[in-house]
Amino acid sequence: MDHYFPNEFGPKAVSLYFVAFFLAYNTSRCFYNYFLHPLVKYPGPLLWRISRLPYAISLSRGNLVHDTWAIHIKYGKVVRLAPDELSFIDGQAWHDIYGARGRGHSEFAKNPAWIRPAPNGVFSILDSFEDDHTRQGKILNHAFSPSALKAQEPFLQKYTGLLIQEARTRKFLDLKDWYNFTTFDITASVVFSFECLAKGKYHRWVSFLFAHLKASCLLASITFYPVIDKILWYCIPKSAFNERIYHFRRSVEWVQKRLNLETGRNDFMSYIVGANTKNTMIMPEIEATAGTLVIAGSETTSTVLLSTTRNLMLQPEKMEKLKKEIRETFSDESELH
């Protein structure tokens, strides 16, 4: 049979041909991205414009936000972060990209690198697509009406008071952690019962959340390379997947606990259940969305609080102006509520 396979097609030659093809393909892609791609007119670092690799590396290392900001500082309000991706810091872009769509206009496509179903196989409100997102949103809107948010004020007061109390009794506070303790306790006070403020440390669910978010960045970074992502998949620590599963399972347990709990408090779950009389949202979707609601109402808020505090401390004149306005408007601490 050997005479049917000349030496030039032996294993070594095949490997060389494969390498040559790989290099030729990527070189041609870089050429296309630099000279012919529809986004060629937009500025950005050369390597980022011709290849997705710098973006993926930055994302996997947790530096993408800082790198993106530095690129905007150098190149302007609209920059090319990857061959097929633009980043905007112009205010109008928020309306154009995230605003309501007129009739006949579909929503902007979501980045597939970030879209994956929950472990139970369904998409949460964060990842669902156009029709499903609208369907779920109609139910969730009831939990964010003015009256629903007003009903949460006593719990805001309670946990804000605990934060102030701890700040007065401790000599040192890492505000990054303590703002997180506060917002997670507020958002999940009925069922999750994190008690981060009372214990002065993160609940395991919260700790695993941060690990899960880091793992999500790793997963997203390899999704950009579908040809070899199955190989790269094995390079991700197994613990990253275990953390995601634990995080989701605990969320499901807490959802079921809340549904079986008789409480007079109107919280997010009570509004969702009350509006979902026709099973517009199926139970797996509610379970998948529960953890998302906790994250959306806590970590993001604590980040804003921390950055605001930092900026006020770096600008004493702004801090003094704020203090003056507060003290002239309110005569007693209780009025701040």
Average pLDDT over residues 290-317: 92
Contacts of residue 262, Cβ cutoff 8 Å, sequence gap at least 6: none
Most confident option among 99-108, 116-125, 207-216, 320-329: 320-329
Contacts of residue 271, Cβ cutoff 8 Å, sequence gap at least 6: 142, 143, 145, 148
**How distant, in Å, are the alpha carbons of 151, 230, 257 from that of 262?**
17, 46, 10
User: Is residue 238 over pLDDT 80?
Assistant: no
Domain coordinates of the chain in residue numbers?
17-98, 130-336
CA distance 233 to 240: 11
- Range scoring the smallest mean pLDDT among 126-140, 263-277, 295-309: 263-277
CA distance 144 to 136: 13
**How distant, in Å, are the alpha carbons of 85, 114, 129 from that of 109?**
12, 12, 9
Contacts of residue 159, Cβ cutoff 8 Å, sequence gap at least 6: 182, 185, 186, 189, 197
As a whole number, the mean pLDDT across the chain is 86
Q: What percent of the chain has a predicted confidence (pLDDT) above 90?
A: 41
User: Is residue 28 over pLDDT 70?
Assistant: yes
CA angle, 128 then 133 then 135, to 5°: 135
Closest of 212, 187, 202, 143 to residue 295, by C-alpha: 187
CA distance 39 to 302: 36
The tokens describing 34, both together, are 């630099």
pLDDT digits (tens, 9 = 90+) for 168-223: 999 889 999 999 999 999 888 766 677 899 999 998 888 877 777 887 888 888 88
What is the DSSP code (8-state) at residue 63? -
Query: What pLDDT was estimated at residue 197?
Result: 92
Query: What pLDDT was estimated at residue 106?
Result: 73
Query: What pLDDT was estimated at residue 224?
Result: 83
The tokens describing 198, both together, are 């009372």
Q: Which helix (H) or strand (E) holds 140?
A: helix 130-140
Query: Considering just the CA atoms, what is the radius of gyration of the chain in Å?
Result: 25
CA distance 205 to 156: 21
Query: What pLDDT was estimated at residue 301?
Result: 93
Q: How far is CA 195 from the centre of its chain?
A: 23
302 in helix, strand or coil?
helix
Q: Which CATH class is domain 130-336?
A: mainly alpha
CA angle, 323 then 326 then 330, to 5°: 145
Query: What pLDDT was estimated at residue 203?
Result: 86
Contact 47, 62 (CB under 8 A): no
The count of other CB atoms within 10 Å of the CB of residue 302 is: 20
Return the amino acid letter for 10.
Answer: G
